[in-house]
Amino acid sequence: MADLHSVPGASADQLTRRAPAPAPSSTPRRRSGMRGLLGHKSPLRPWLLLAPALAVLGVLLLWPLVRVVMISLQDYGLRQIASGESNYIGFDNYAAIFGDSFLWTVVLPNTIGFAVACVVLTVVLGTAVALFLNNLGTFWRTICSTAIMVAWAVPAITGTYVWIWIFDPLNGLVSSVLDSVGLIDPATTNWFTERLSFYAIATLNVVHHGFPFVAITVLAGLLTIPKELHEAAMMDGASPWRRFWAITAPILRPVFAVVTILSTIWDFKVFTQIYLMPGGNGGNKEVFNLGVWSYIQSFAQGKYGMGSAIAVLLTLILLGITVVYMRTLFKEEEL
Amino acid sequence: MQRRSTVAVTGTLLLALGLTACGGGDSSSGESTGDAAAADHSGETLTVWIMEGTNPDGDAFFDEVTTAFKEETGADLQIEFQPWASAHDKFTTSIAGNTTPDVAELGTTWTGEFADVGALSDLSDKIKDAGLEEDLVPGLVESGTLDGAQYGMPWYAGVRSVIYRKDLFEAAGIEVPTTWAELQTAAETLKAANPGLIPFPIAGDSQYGAMPFIWGAGGDLAVKDGDTWTSEINSPDSVKGLEFYTGLATEAGLSTAAATTWKETDLLSNFEQGNVGMMISGSWTPGKILTDVPDMADKIGAFPIPGETDGLSDSFLGGSHLGVFAASEKQDLAWEFVEMMTTGKFAEEWGNQSGYFPGQTSLLEKVIEENDPLVAPFAQQMVEAGASVPVTPLYGQIQGKKTVETMLQSILSGSATVQEAADTAAADMNETFGS
């Protein structure tokens, strides 16, 4: 879980708790001279061993990250790409983004509202399915978990087209059914033009695609809970609802933390599922989220600086959410 | 398509007889043919990027070209097909990384953009030396020219007109419309006769469908004054045209709500399914319809987009250039390839196979003379009423942010009036134009 360790709050806490023992023994060694630098207990040694991996990560992850931040501070277009020159303009891109009411009235509400809905629904549905699977025998559990894994295995593009097709206003399954019972008139219905119905369909798509991961992860957690705990609680007359909140939920807290954070990260940066939907590729500004906005700015208009600034903003929001969430989580655990 | 196969066979025969492309055309290309014979480029390889899917049988075509090019110059060709959707990104990356091909097919709206950053070579002199100056389709020359220098060599062009269901028109006794009012009446009669049919869908994600009505009403997308462009899309004339076009959906009920988010491909697939009476569609689509649904052979026809009260409404003239990249070390060899592709036999053959029109005027006239009922209306549209979007790299940005589509979708979904949506679009364009 690299994501957990990269969070300052988490790693700091863990280090202070687990690191003290080796630290004193290595300190005197460092003072004993240059030869000790690469010696068995030298503090440099682990870094040397880590160097190849760090170098690869630095080139593949850190440098692009730095580049994005650098480009976000420039007026960077095709001309700069072609000539290789830089064109720094300070924080103008950020000023333009934050000064644009479009960000506050459309993009952020879409991004955040959609992510919150998706994360909550994914985790709730995933947990419910996991509890259901946990109560099945091995044979049916295997069958059912394989079945839901299919939803996860379908590529986002394919899955999106399936949902578009299901909700197609003229030929889709949903409109055919609603039409035949007289609820809608297909000639005047198009769910893709309204912000709310557009995102409702996108939510279905993303939740459907995301819940199997939660279900399988939570199921793995559930299988580790000793049966005795539930038996004891049953003897005391606890209802299933009470047992879930008093036994299952506290034990699985770290699992929920992982699936919630991962879902948050995934659902905040949803792009494919929005961009491929009818009207989602830029023609309907009402349904933009941060990902689509960034893409339209950078690649459709060639304003790479502006697009990068939006991407940096998205990253900062995600970092912020993750840090706050991890802090609350681990503080509660220590208390 | 009888015509096509005949031409393809003739083309193969010509090749077998050892006739080369440069000699095959009716342009005066004698001079450059002489040069070609003199220079020997054997051992060299020319890298060329071609867009995927324009010609359904691109592989076979380029096998033929490669053989002919080798005979002519001794050099090998490396043809790499690029999908349209990702090609622009790929060009950008290759310009940045200095890994551009020698020659590439460029969408007409890209040529100015890449020329503007110095990535393309000026072809004006070479075109002049080959005596081709007067023999190129003007609309394509215009979009390939930046600051007086021509960077894009016209290769092929396409234009949109109306494709309609001839069988349904005949059954309902409808004549081919020649004015906007007749167009609306035709759609209304179609609807009365075929209640399940969408008579004239207005696709919200198709900018080129709306343009003929803006231009046809005397409006424009943007006009150039001095060095700056200013949007005209909210002028009274443009709004009048847009009101008629979108009104066919919002007031006359001749479209369907689903079409608000349709792209041109959705129009096409619904037409192929038999749901649609007529549609604004490209000159390259009849061939595709007949391939997909052979039963439609006797049922479809085409007519140029009528003018408001007479004549024709202008329609966007799109297509491709061939460009030579400035970073290429094989400028002369590259030009020989460009000339071979864009003139004479290969240009003609490419047009016939792909359903596009050649960018060489003399070849285009030949196509018009053939008078194929599914080709001639488009040819007429192209020659008499072809128009270009504002020729500035900035308009590429405006297309990138889908200003016109946004306007159409907000009108069609009822979230804005025509005037409001046009005002928003104009402000959006002017923001990019910096005016």
Helix (H) or strand (E) holding B80: strand B76-82
| B278-287: pLDDT as tens digits | 999 999 899 8
Residue B13: band (very low, low, confident or very high) from pLDDT cuts 50, 70, 90: very low
| Minimum CA–CA partner of B90 in chain A | A299
Reduced to 3 states, what is the DSSP secondary structure of residue B431?
Answer: helix
Are B76 and B44 a contacting pair, CB within 8 Å? yes
* ipTM of predicted assembly, 2 dp: 0.78
What's the pLDDT at B400?
86
CA B262 to chain A, closest CA, distance in angstroms equals 7
What's the pLDDT at B43?
85
Residue A255 CA to residue A249 CA, distance in Å, equals 9
What integer is the mean pLDDT of B296-321? 94
Reduced to 3 states, what is the DSSP secondary structure of residue B259?
Answer: helix
Instruction: Determine, yes or no, domain membership for A145.
Output: yes
Q: How would you label B187-203 residue by residue, b for 16+ Cβ within 10 Å and e otherwise?
A: bbbbbebbeebbbbbbb
User: Does residue A3 have a pLDDT over 60?
Assistant: no
Please name the member of A81, A188, A286 whose beta carbon is closest to the beta carbon of B92.
Answer: A81
Are A172 and A189 a contacting pair, CB within 8 Å? no
B406: chain A residues, CB-CB within 8 Å: 282-285
Instruction: Determine, yes or no, domain membership for A307.
Output: yes
Bridge partner residues of B282 (DSSP): B160
| Minimum CA–CA partner of A304 in chain B | B92
Please name the member of A193, A302, A303 whose beta carbon is closest to the beta carbon of B261.
Answer: A193
Q: Do A170 and B405 touch (CB under 8 A)?
A: no
Identical topology for domains B2-158+317-386 and B160-315+390-433? yes
Percent of chain B with pLDDT over 90: 64
Q: What is the 3-state secondary structure (H, E, C) of chain A?
A: CHHHHCCHHHHHHHHHHHCCCHHHHHHHHHHCCHHHHHCCCCCHHHHHHHHHHHHHHHHHHHHHHHHHHHHHCECCCHHHHHHCCCCECCCHHHHHHHCCHHHHHHHHHHHHHHHHHHHHHHHHHHHHHHHHHHCCCHHHHHHHHHHHHHHHHCCHHHHHHHHHHHCCCCCCHHHHHHHHCCCCCHHHCCCCCCHHHHHHHHHHHHHHHHHHHHHHHHHHHHCCCCHHHHHHHHHCCCCHHHHHHHHHHHHCHHHHHHHHHHHHHHHHCCCHHHHCCCCCCCCCHHHCCHHHHHHHHHHHCCCHHHHHHHHHHHHHHHHHHHHHHHHHHHHHHHC
CATH (domain of A205): 1.10.3720.10
Q: Do A282 and B409 touch (CB under 8 A)?
A: no
Instruction: Determine, yes or no, domain membership for A113.
Output: yes
Helix (H) or strand (E) holding B186: helix B180-193
Which residues have CB under 8 Å from B39's CB, separation 6+?
B73, B332, B333
- B406 touches A: beta carbon within 8 Å: yes
> Tell me: domain B2-158+317-386, CATH 2.102.10.10, correct?
no
What's the pLDDT at B27?
38
What's the pLDDT at B138?
83
Domain positions in chain B are: 2-158+317-386, 160-315+390-433
Residue A184 CA to residue A172 CA, distance in Å, equals 13
Instruction: Determine, yes or no, domain membership for A85.
Output: no
For chain A, state the CA radius of gyration.
25
User: Does residue B34 have a pLDDT over 80?
Assistant: no
Please name the member of A78, A282, A283 whose beta carbon is closest to the beta carbon of B204.
Answer: A283
Q: How would you label B315-327 residue by residue, b for 16+ Cβ within 10 Å and e otherwise?
A: bbbbbbbbbbbbb
What integer is the mean pLDDT of B276-304? 93
- Nearest by Cα to B159 from B289, B270, B305: B305
Q: What is the fold, at CATH topology level, of the domain defined by B160-315+390-433?
A: D-Maltodextrin-Binding Protein; domain 2 (3.40.190)
In a mutational test of the B interface, the residue from A301, A304, A310 whose CB has the highest number of chain B CBs within 10 Å is A301
User: Does residue B236 have a pLDDT over 80?
Assistant: yes
| B44-99: pLDDT as tens digits | 999 999 998 788 778 899 999 999 999 999 999 999 999 887 888 889 889 888 89
User: Does residue A11 have a pLDDT over 50?
Assistant: no
| Minimum CA–CA partner of B205 in chain A | A283
B275: chain A residues, CB-CB within 8 Å: 170
Instruction: Determine, yes or no, domain membership for A15.
Output: no
Instruction: Determine if residue B153 is left, alpha or beta; phi over 0 gives left, psi from -120 to 50 gives alpha, anything else beta.
Output: beta
| A183-211: pLDDT as tens digits | 888 888 899 999 999 999 999 999 999 99
Domain span at residue A199 reads 99-334
Residue B352 CA to residue B373 CA, distance in Å, equals 14
User: Does residue B9 have a pLDDT over 60?
Assistant: no
Instruction: Enter the tokens of residue A256.
Output: 């929920």
Are A76 and A308 a contacting pair, CB within 8 Å? yes
What's the pLDDT at B39?
64
Helix (H) or strand (E) holding B240: helix B236-250
Residue B375 CA to residue B230 CA, distance in Å, equals 35
Instruction: Give the least confident one: B142-156, B163-177, B210-224.
Output: B142-156
Handedness of CA B321, B322, B325, B326 (dihedral sign): negative
What's the pLDDT at A96?
93
Return the higher-pLDDT residue of B55 and B273.
B273
CA A153 to chain B, closest CA, distance in angstroms equals 25
Q: Do A301 and B409 touch (CB under 8 A)?
A: no
Residue A309 CA to residue A74 CA, distance in Å, equals 9
The torsion angles phi and psi of A3, rounded to 5 degrees, stand at -60, -35
Instruction: Determine, yes or no, domain membership for A284.
Output: yes
Instruction: Determine, yes or no, domain membership for A135.
Output: yes
What's the pLDDT at B54?
82
A299: chain B residues, CB-CB within 8 Å: 88-89, 400
Residues in chain B, overall count: 435
Instruction: Determine, yes or no, domain membership for A23.
Output: no
What integer is the mean pLDDT of A137-141? 91
Q: Which residues of A touch B (CB under 8 A)?
A: 78-79, 81-84, 168-170, 186-190, 192-194, 278-279, 281-286, 296, 299-303
Residue B315: band (very low, low, confident or very high) from pLDDT cuts 50, 70, 90: very high
Helix (H) or strand (E) holding B323: strand B315-324
What integer is the mean pLDDT of A298-305? 88
What's the pLDDT at B4?
39
A278: chain B residues, CB-CB within 8 Å: 205, 261-262, 266
| A212-223: pLDDT as tens digits | 999 999 999 999
Q: Do A187 and B257 touch (CB under 8 A)?
A: yes
> For chain A, how many structural domains are there in total?
1
